[in-house]
Structure 1
């Protein structure tokens, strides 16, 4: 009788063990499982990917830029889910989302100017990452210093006059604003010109960097339908040099 009970208990034990093993296997293979370790997933872009300017919203932009921004959005959405991202951070600032001035678009007539101002007020002034942050309830951070902060830190304010030394100083600011995220899962977007240097800076400061996709735009792509594009600083390459 004792031997029979022992056998039954063995069968029960094996059944429970097999069930637990199956559950563990399903968990490991599931795309919804939580990743095991913190990381920072880095994406390099032309800044036109991050933010569609008011001028582009009001008038037009090249088809290449539009398609690449859509591809960028799709990739960010995929990585948020795949990597279980907790923080969305970017090389951008509130100041960078400035409203365009009428003089930039050759709007001189008073009535046209009034309509322009009304239209500008109705534009979307959120970056792509801000939109994802609100839609998915994920923390968002702007990491680039604004004009006052740059002046205080001795960083060139005019993007056209910036040197690589200024870039390195700005990258140190980004690092300082992410210092508390070494144990979290972060998606960070920066200008492609900063990609390698910033990745190395992060790694040397203890971040587990996963190097991701690049979304650059050539001058030709900016103007692939030039007849319909309003010539402002956004479309003349300044976005590319941050």
Structure 2
């Protein structure tokens, strides 16, 4: 079975929508995700995010897109308690990226994976080492139309 992963790197604030904010503030990223799902036959969306990282006033745009498309969504970044249980030290980026890979092993491919732009090259390499075909769709996606992402949603 061929395993393909499509990768979008971005700033983390682009992954989140602010409850009550105008939809146009995150519409471009949602459209990018939804168009990628449709055009590439995506079966699972994974992302460098945890429920805990969202907080009370934000939501995952990727999760919302997965729900709309009726496909699987997976938060891949371990939360604080999971990091402690996995003995992932603060700042240990490589251990976190390895955990993302572990979480993706048993899901349906093709996968659209969204992570911080600084992780794109390293995570693509990890995937390729696991015999996953990787296509980087965007190594550092940014929306010039979004004003909330850089300031409010962190």
Q: Would the TM-score normalized by the shorter structure come out above 0.5?
A: yes
Q: Secondary structure at the match of 2:17?
A: coil
Distance 2:6 2:109 in 1: 11
Q: Contact 2:18 / 2:59 at 8 angstroms: preserved in 1? A: no
Stretches of structure 1 that go unaligned for 5 or more consecutive residues are: 1-35, 100-122
Of 173, 176, 184, the match for 2:99: 173
Please give the residue correspondences for 1:17-56 in structure 2 after superposition, counting only pairs within 5 Å: 38-54=3-19
Distance 1:79 1:217 in 2: 16
For each residue in 1:180-199, what CA deviation from the matched residue of structure 2 results, as whole angstroms up to 9, or x when unmatched? Answer: 24x72110001111111000
Larger proportion of strand: 2
Q: Give the structure-1-normalised TM-score.
A: 0.55
Residue equivalent to 1:33: none
Of 100, 121, 132, the match for 1:207: 132
1:129 and 2:62 correspond: yes
1:235 and 2:151 correspond: yes
Please give the residue correspondences for 1:127-206 in structure 2 after superposition, counting only pairs within 5 Å: 127-157=60-90, 162=91, 166-181=92-107, 184-206=109-131
Q: Secondary structure at the match of 1:235?
A: coil
What's the C-alpha RMSD, in Å, of the aligned pairs?
A: 2.9
Number of aligned residues: 151
Residue equivalent to 1:78: 35
Distance 1:53 1:72 in 2: 13
Stretches of structure 2 that go unaligned for 5 or more consecutive residues are: none
Looking at both structures, which has the greater relative contact order when contacts are Cα pairs under 8 Å and sequence separation is at least 6?
2
Change (3 A) 1:151 1:216: farther
For each residue in 1:16-67, what CA deviation from the matched residue of structure 2 results, as whole angstroms up to 9, or x when unmatched? Answer: xxxxxxxxxxxxxxxxxxxx9541000001011111245xx46x9xx9xx3x
Question: Is the radius of gyration larger for structure 1 or structure 2?
Answer: 1
Distance 2:35 2:17 in 1: 20
Offset of 1:126 from its aligned partner? 2.9
Q: Secondary structure at the match of 2:112?
A: strand
Q: Secondary structure at the match of 1:211?
A: strand
